[in-house]
Amino acid sequence: MEKILVGLKRVVDYNVRVRVKADGSGVETDGVKMSINPFDEIALEEALRIRERGEAGEIVVMSIGSSDAQQQLRTGLAMGADRAILVETAGDIDPLSRARAFLEIAGREQPGLVLLGKQAIDDDNSQTGQMLAALWGRPQATFASQIELNGETARVTREVDVGLETIEVDLPAVVTTDLRLNEPRYVKLPDIMKAKKKPLDTVAFDDLGVEAAPVIRETAFEPPAQRQKGIMVDDIAGLLAALRDKGVL
């Protein structure tokens, strides 16, 4: 396989406690640590391992978003990717528009495999990979916990509700990665320095000639209700009494 295309999305770091803006217009991001979506980081790690086994040549990472996403692309380059592509757009776009942008880049790059995280931790849509496969007319394997390449095919173990499912798909294909596929490597300082010299190309979203899907607009945000403080009981009788008071029994 000559090339693997990996999608990286810029999201609020998973260790950060998310706060809603005072006016309820969105999530507070000013001064907040931003990182690569964790599932996308797993996708990149798997691409690197495939290359290290001699089963792939070039790894290209791609992100769709503002110029700030260059930071996450540089992190991807520091992890070991060869090139980066930023499809720059000022505002948020919906999963279908993202899939169309990925389709355009896939048409230009002709990858043998597209790896995406199964979902982004900010919107939890889990749609872009499936839509890309449908638009591209190529097989898909979602929620992958193991990937084995064998020439022109890929054997993928998927995590499903009832356990594990193993399927075989022809390449090129779209695979979305699950949590248990691997553990991403740490980025070292020398690799960060080397990443600054690796190519990062910027393409305007409007220049792709992609048809924009109907815009999905969030009208209001609010934090979840605070959990009520628990109570301590001395014995089983006290527990039963407390449950009766709450109308549970």
- The owner of tokens 């999305």 is 9
Q: 154 lies in which domain range?
A: 3-245
pLDDT digits (tens, 9 = 90+) for 197-222: 999 999 999 999 887 777 777 788 88
Dihedral, CA of residue 40, residue 42, residue 45 and residue 50, to nearest 10: -100
Give phi and psi for 128, each to the nearest 5.
-60, -45
Number of domains into which the chain is organized: 1
Which amino acid is it at 110?
Q
CATH code of the domain containing 58: 3.40.50.620
pLDDT digits (tens, 9 = 90+) for 39-55: 999 999 999 999 999 99
What is the number of alpha carbons within 13 Å of residue 221 lying toward its C-beta? 16
Mean of pLDDT values over 12-35? 87
| Axis crossing angle, helix 95-109 with helix 128-136, rounded to the nearest 10 | 50
Q: Please tell me which residue, 25 or 234, carries the higher pLDDT value.
A: 234
pLDDT digits (tens, 9 = 90+) for 156-197: 999 998 899 999 999 999 999 999 999 999 999 999 999 999
pLDDT of residue 18: 87
- The Cα 82–Cα 61 span in angstroms is 8
Task: Give the residue from 8, 198, 204 showing the smallest Cα distance to 104.
Answer: 204
pLDDT of residue 223: 84
pLDDT of residue 176: 97
pLDDT digits (tens, 9 = 90+) for 115-168: 999 999 988 899 999 999 999 999 999 999 999 999 899 999 999 988 999 999
pLDDT of residue 55: 95
Distances (CA, A) of 87 to 113, 123, 127, 196: 19, 19, 19, 19
pLDDT of residue 73: 97
Helix or strand (DSSP H, E) at 105 = helix 95-109
Task: Give the residue from 70, 65, 68 showing the smallest Cα distance to 120.
Answer: 65
- The Cα 49–Cα 43 span in angstroms is 10
pLDDT digits (tens, 9 = 90+) for 69-113: 999 999 999 999 999 999 999 877 889 999 999 999 999 999 999
Helix or strand (DSSP H, E) at 84 = strand 83-88
Dihedral, CA of residue 7, residue 10, residue 15 and residue 16, to nearest 10: -160
Residue 19 pLDDT more than 80?
Answer: yes
